[in-house]
Amino acid sequence: MPSAASRRRRLGLGVSPYRWRMTTLGLVLVALIVGAQIFSAGDPSRNTALTRVEAVWYDLRFQMLPPQRDSLIPIVIVDLDEATQQREGRWPWDRRKVGQLVQAIQHHGAVLIGFDVVFSEPGDNPVRQVLDAADLPAPVDRALNFLIDEFDGDAALGRALGDNTVLGYFFHADGGKAGRLPAPFLEFPDDIAASSTLIAMPDYTANLAVLTDHAWASGFVVAVPDADGIVRRMPLVMRHENGVYTSLGLEMSRLALAAPWARLAQEQRGSQTVVTGVQLGRQLHIPLDERGNMLVPYRGTAGSFTTVSATGVLRGDAPPAQLAALDGAIVLVGTSALGLSDLRTIPLQTGFPGVEVHANVIDTILHAAMAASDPGQRSPFYLRPDWEPGATLALLLLSGLLMALILPGRTPSTMLVLTLGWLAVVVGANLLMWHVWHLALPIGLQLLMVLSTGAVNIAGGYLATNRQKRAIQSLFGEYVPPEHVERMLDQPGDISLEGEQRTMTVLFADVRSFTALSESLSPTELKAVLNRYLSAITAVIFEHHGTIDKYVGDLVMAFWNAPLDDPHHARNAVQAALAMQRRMVELRKEFEAEGLPQFHIGIGINTGPMNVGDMGSRYRRAYTVLGDAVNLASRLESLTDFYGVPILVSDTTREQASDFVYRPVDRVQVKGRQQELVISQPLASVADVDDAVTQYAQQCDKAIAAYQAGDWDTARRLFHALASSKPDDNLSRLYLNRMAEQGVAVPGPDWSAVYVHDRK
């Protein structure tokens, strides 16, 4: 007799080398992912999938933990919105009207005005248009020439700008240069310019010289979205040729803070001159990435800043509270109108006005200036620090080594809990660093490390468990169904091979006219056909959670709700029967194409109390079901040929599987039972049925109800209609013949609607 250790080895339950193999595989994964970190640390854009994960995680953090801050200096948006377009005319306006808007904003006390629009082309001058359009007499010509300056809108706007207005302009690579650029705040030598990592643009669209000269300052309004089109960062400095230029947000912040100068912070990394930030005055350092971008910590969705319609400011009829908000405020003039194409996608929403991106930049810099002067204040900047690559590498090694050494050898459920727990720690720590210290640390490779190491070990654990299952099945599979073996492995304490009684559903399926089929085929052909049929039917039963009890020639017996509990056993059995008939349609087509005989099957289903367990002799045993309810299912299968229907179910099955459309077939008394029952044919699931099937079932119900009530005139009429609509339906003809055989138009008082079957 084999020892306990021998039996355990046969079952695969002893110590196995798989733990060491899994540890080695885990260490290989660690090496690969650490290598990916080292390879991509200098240039994350090399891995587009990783970059996409990081972008999604960046957005999720903003949505879960948005920045919380109040404005120090009020920032107000004067919006060239749809209402303004309708009331004042479509943009661009006459420059004199723009000048009037500037004067109105100044009148209400704005300390600084910035334009997120560009005036690159000369405005219309009506006097010049008249002079150019007509050949006027000399006196009239001279008189009108004196009026040119008075009607020059560009000059009028230039005079209105004053010393508190900052204009915006564009850098681009679309070709062409328009307007006059302001002077750069820094000139690179040729060698530094060639090695600089700043974004460089060859072309620009700037404001007219008369406007650039009159404005206090100018700044570019370029937004550079990430690869997915989302604006997460804004360039504060850009390069054009050898000059370095500042953005509108940076320039307005410098003026608002009265910073005497701005200086670019750079360092040499190999052959490149890498930007690290911008210094405003002596106190404020603004961290930038090597391209000159600042991560924008958006305060919220559109409308986070006070917004006033431009027409209300121009005409002075905006709500008093909105006009009062302009007093002492930094004002940005921009648009949220769809037609002016200045809507962006940010981590918090789509359709975000571009002017509010600049407002968020200014607001962040002003808060940073306050934090720089107050040690108790937290900097509002979100940044990816220089030490991040080394810290990420250390965390990857920690995660990988811990999981590679701890997970192997544990149960799959324990490994899943440990993996999810460590994943929660990694994600929680990343969120904590984001929320408390504003560190935008990457997480993509961390997630890959935890999930891949955990998945590999869990998969290995399941493979080891499956080896154990196969070993057990090789020992017990001769008389225990596969589902029972699975349950024994998962919950051995809940399974007993002892007999028990429970309510179950049993199904019998049999080939019609099997004798004729067998006579038309050779033994080899018959075996091949039966094997294909039984394999197809068994697959369907397994798909619907049934257990095969036995094959008896062409007969298949299956049951539900044992050994595994199945609260929906009746429904699953009916679904299986419908699927079996659908599979038979496909099988008949295959047989026809191969020149093989086609055949049909009948299926009987019953639900009721049955005895189930491991039964038999000491020579042969089987896990099976017994009882009157089992015999009734067999009787129903044999009646399918009598009624010419593919499936028959008892009334108890119909009651417990109510989510199907049935048509009643008959009230019967089968041989060997005194109790009558109603048998029905399931047509389709309620979820899949169409109106035609529903109507047909209702017509059948009315016809059989009329027959059973003794109203044979109505029954004949309804059955004739059914037979006409479905000529291949045997049931209607059966009832018509049954009534004709009685030889009377109306049944007598002793007539019973219960049909007694005297054959099995």
The helix (H) or strand (E) run that includes residue 643 is: helix 628-643
DSSP-assigned beta bridge partners for residue 610: 502
Q: How remote is the C-alpha of 520 from its chain's centroid?
A: 56
79: its two tokens: 């919006």
Give the relative orientation of helices 712-725 and 691-708 as an angle to the nearest 10 degrees: 150
Cα distances (Å, whole numbers) of residue 221 to 251, 305, 359, 623, 687: 11, 19, 12, 79, 57
Which candidate, 223, 305, 230, places its Cα nearest to that of 62? 230
Pairing state between β 330-334 and 112-115:
parallel
Q: What is the pLDDT of residue 486?
A: 65
Whether 294 contacts 381, CB under 8 Å: yes
Q: What is the pLDDT of residue 383?
A: 81
What 8-state DSSP symbol labels residue 182?
A: P
pLDDT, tens digit (0-9, with 9 covering 90-100), for 23-72: 777 788 878 877 777 776 544 444 467 777 777 888 888 788 877 666 66
What 8-state DSSP symbol labels residue 247?
A: B
Name every residue whose Cβ is closer than 8 Å to that of residue 459 and which is 6 or more positions away in sequence: none
- Looking at residue 591, its amino acid is F
Q: What is the 3-state secondary structure (H, E, C) of 512-562?
A: CCHHHHHHCCCHHHHHHHHHHHHHHHHHHHHHCCCEEEEEECCEEEEEECC
What are residue 246's phi and psi, to 5 degrees? -105, 155
Q: b vs e for 279-312, b when ≥16 Cβ sit within 10 Å of the residue's Cβ?
A: ebbeebbbbbbbbbbbbbbbbeebebbbbbbbbb
175: its two tokens: 């070709």
Pairing state between β 349-353 and 343-346:
antiparallel
- Give the DSSP per-residue string, 547-605: EEEEEETTEEEEEESSSS--TTHHHHHHHHHHHHHHHHHHHHHHHHHTTPPP--EEEEE
What 8-state DSSP symbol labels residue 421?
A: H
Q: Which residues of the chain have pLDDT under 50?
A: 1-15, 42-47, 475-480, 492-495
Q: What is the pLDDT of residue 272?
A: 79
585: its two tokens: 């349609």
3-state secondary structure of 660: strand
How many Cα neighbours within 13 Å face the side chain of 138? 0
Pairing state between β 203-205 and 243-246:
unpaired
199: its two tokens: 């974004």
462: its two tokens: 């399941």
CB neighbours of residue 141 within 10 Å: 13
3-state secondary structure of 565: coil
Q: What is the pLDDT of residue 47?
A: 45
Q: What is the pLDDT of residue 30?
A: 78
723: its two tokens: 């037979």
Give the relative orientation of helices 523-543 and 569-593 as an angle to the nearest 10 degrees: 150
DSSP-assigned beta bridge partners for residue 637: none
Which candidate, 506, 469, 532, places its Cα nearest to that of 649? 506
Which candidate, 499, 500, 487, 587, places its Cα nearest to that of 535? 587
Q: What is the pLDDT of residue 423?
A: 87
Cα distances (Å, whole numbers) of residue 280 to 288, 382, 549: 13, 18, 84
Q: Could you give the domains of the chain? A: 4-66+384-475 (no CATH), 75-373 (no CATH), 495-658 (3.30.70.1230), 686-760 (no CATH)
Distance CA 183, CA 198 (A): 18
Distance CA 591, CA 665 (A): 30
Name every residue whose Cβ is closer than 8 Å to that of residue 340 and which is 6 or more positions away in sequence: 80, 91
Distance CA 334, CA 108 (A): 18
Q: What is the pLDDT of residue 631?
A: 94
Which candidate, 678, 641, 642, places its Cα nearest to that of 663? 678
Whether 37 contacts 393, CB under 8 Å: yes
Name every residue whose Cβ is closer than 8 Å to that of residue 727 and which is 6 or more positions away in sequence: none
How many Cα neighbours within 13 Å face the side chain of 129? 8
Q: Following CA atoms 130, 136, 141, 147 in sequence, which dihedral angle do they give, to the nearest 10 degrees?
A: -20
Which candidate, 187, 257, 173, 249, places its Cα nearest to that of 218? 249
Distance CA 264, CA 277 (A): 6
